[in-house]
Amino acid sequence: MIDGRLARGERSRTAALDAAVVLATESGLEGLSFNQLAERLGVSKSGLFAHWRTKEELQLAAVDHAEARFTERVVRPALHRPRGVRRLWALHEHRLADISSGDLPGGCFFGLAQFEFVARPGPVQARLAAALERWHALLERIITEAVELGELDPGTDPQQLSFELNAHGTAAVYESRLRPASNVYEHARAAALDRLRGLSPQPHLLEA
Residues forming the site for a second copy (CB under 8 A): 25-28, 30-31, 105-107, 111-112, 114-120, 125, 128-129, 132-133, 136, 159-160, 163-164, 166-168, 170-171, 173-175, 177-179, 182-184, 187-188, 190-191, 198
Q: Nearest approach, Cβ of 118 to a second copy (angstroms)? A: 4
Pick 82 or 122: Cβ nearer a second copy: 122
Pick 144 or 160: Cβ nearer a second copy: 160
Q: Nearest approach, Cβ of 203 to a second copy (angstroms)? A: 15
Q: Nearest approach, Cβ of 171 to a second copy (angstroms)? A: 4
Q: Nearest approach, Cβ of 190 to a second copy (angstroms)? A: 6
CA dist 106 and 198 (Å) reads 32
Render 58-108 in DSSP notation, one character per residue. Answer: HHHHHHHHHHHHHIIIIIHHHHTSPTTHHHHHHHHHHHHHHHHT-SSTTS-
Selection from 171, 65, 162 nearest residue 111 by Cα:
171
Evaluate the CA torsion angle 59, 60, 65, 71 in order and state its sign: positive
Pick 51 or 187: Cβ nearer a second copy: 187
CB of 123 closer than 8 Å to CB of 56: yes
Pick 44 or 159: Cβ nearer a second copy: 159
